[in-house]
Amino acid sequence: MTHYQAIAKEYADKNMEELFNLLRIETVSAQGRGIRETSEFVSRIIQDAGGESELLDDLGGHPVVYGFFKAGEQGDASKTLLFYNHYDVQPEDPIDEWQTAPFEPTIIDDKIFARGVSDNKANFMSRIVAIQALVASEDGLPCNVKFFVEGEEEIGSPNIDLYLEKYADKFKADVCIWESGSKDSEERMVISAGVKGIAYFEASIESADIDIHSSQAAVIDNAAWRLVHALSTIRDVNHNITIEGFKEMRIEPTEQEIENVANFPYNKAATIKTYGLKHPLITEQLPYTAEEALILYPTMTISGLLSGYTGQGTKTVLPRKAMAKIDVRLVPGYEPETVYEVMRAHLDKQGFQDVHLELLTGVKPFRTDISDDFVADVINSAKEVYGDDQVILELNSAGTGPMFGFGQYLDVPILGAGTSWVKSGAHAPNENIRIADYYQGVEHIMVLLKTFAS
């Protein structure tokens, strides 16, 4: 608890209706709903809070909202903190599983239910509220603040790097706070310093012009076997990724990173119980721990397999087509294109030139150098608000997001903090945040801005 606690709550309550109005707009980027309206609404919120704002849309895609707040009289205008947020949300489906109307924010048991409240509209609003509260306080705004609020995060941010590259000067900042953050199952605030990247592939093979009677299996191979054999060469039965040159791409973590991971709390038994796992964790057979696997190593996953007859009863056939979806989560050292190159070369070398491999989508990984001073600022300010033993630094989240371009074009350390909790249900029905977490989120941003500027 800090001396900002009361004012954070006061300004959060004062602006609650504004947050609700933002939540009422159906900003479903996948369906192009409410985009222009929301971008204008967000821009107006920034202006009403005393900032400058502009919509950038000259490079295609949904508009990017730029925001700027100048440091107050007693503040340090040589320092700038950038917030990254997004104003778009996931589709509300399945609607019949919602207990409230998804776009009518509803308070039940001290929680706000609405699509987009956790991901990411309340986080955006908590930052605006923190700025307003600081401006109204005797301290004033302690540093410059900028906003980059995009409308395509939920569809993979296809245009974000274009805007970051062209407008690198406009968004220039010393540090960046990412869109979100969440408390874990033990009520600890998890501050994330990065994201894993992803490379998503489709592997397919065609072995004949038509499906063939399976009596011909005596002399003819089929697509299903070919693909299964090809896949079996990329990961062995002990879960080691066996693609030549793949392991070597990984950048060795620093001592500090290894130490951070060793101390990262992870409950194996809870994972096994939660999912009702029928097998031990794969790290039982790997030369590194579960914690290291989650944070420091890439994955190699068959996400889907399709071939031949899978209906009721029997059908004897040689399938002529087979297809697999493969997802690879990336850590520093791996990029989607280079992963494609080593996979392609590996398949060719193993004699599987006939397996067609396509990179469907890719996002590069990003990890902030945790020896940066800003990491200590974010952690220490969080400890003041959440408690000394209630804050965890995670090197990179297991998930993926468009951080890489911010590192590339703006060269800033990036850390995530926010107002969600373990049952916020982002992307799911009944998405919610707890109002108490929202107040704390505002308070944390206030303390953080003050800490960063001093």
Residues near Zn ion, by CB under 5 A? 119
Nearer to Zn ion (CB atom), residue 352 or residue 421: 421
Nearer to Zn ion (CB atom), residue 426 or residue 447: 426
CA distance 15 to 124: 12
| 57-to-54, 88, 159, 194, 384 alpha-carbon distances in Å | 10, 15, 10, 27, 39
Nearer to Zn ion (CB atom), residue 26 or residue 119: 119
Nearer to Zn ion (CB atom), residue 119 or residue 384: 119
What is residue 406's DSSP assignment?
I
Tell me the closest approach of the beta carbon of residue 182 to Zn ion, in angstroms: 12
Nearer to Zn ion (CB atom), residue 119 or residue 292: 119
What are residue 442's phi and psi, to 5 degrees? -60, -45
What is residue 335's DSSP assignment?
-
Q: Measuring CA to CA, which residue among 21, 33, 18 is closest to residue 127?
A: 18
Tell me the closest approach of the beta carbon of residue 426 to Zn ion, in angstroms: 6
Nearer to Zn ion (CB atom), residue 55 or residue 428: 428
CA distance 76 to 78: 5
Tell me the closest approach of the beta carbon of residue 150 to Zn ion, in angstroms: 12
- Taking the CA of residue 315 as centre, how many other CA atoms within 13 Å lie in the half-sphere pointing to its CB? 11
| 202-to-157, 337, 349 alpha-carbon distances in Å | 21, 14, 19
Which residue has tokens 């994972």? 271
* Cα dihedral across residues 194, 65, 408, 201: positive or negative: positive
Type of residue at 52: E
Tell me the closest approach of the beta carbon of residue 154 to Zn ion, in angstroms: 5
Q: Which residue is nearest to Zn ion (CB)?
A: 119
Tell me the closest approach of the beta carbon of residue 441 to Zn ion, in angstroms: 17
Tell me the closest approach of the beta carbon of residue 155 to Zn ion, in angstroms: 10
Which two structure tokens, joined as six digits, stand for 348?
Answer: 């060719």
Nearer to Zn ion (CB atom), residue 30 or residue 270: 30
Q: Measuring CA to CA, which residue among 226, 235, 221 is closest to residue 323?
A: 226
What are residue 264's phi and psi, to 5 degrees? -75, 125
Tell me the closest approach of the beta carbon of residue 421 to Zn ion, in angstroms: 16
Tell me the closest approach of the beta carbon of residue 402 to Zn ion, in angstroms: 11
Please, what is the Cα angle at 272 between 267 and 274, to 5 degrees?
Answer: 90
Nearer to Zn ion (CB atom), residue 119 or residue 437: 119
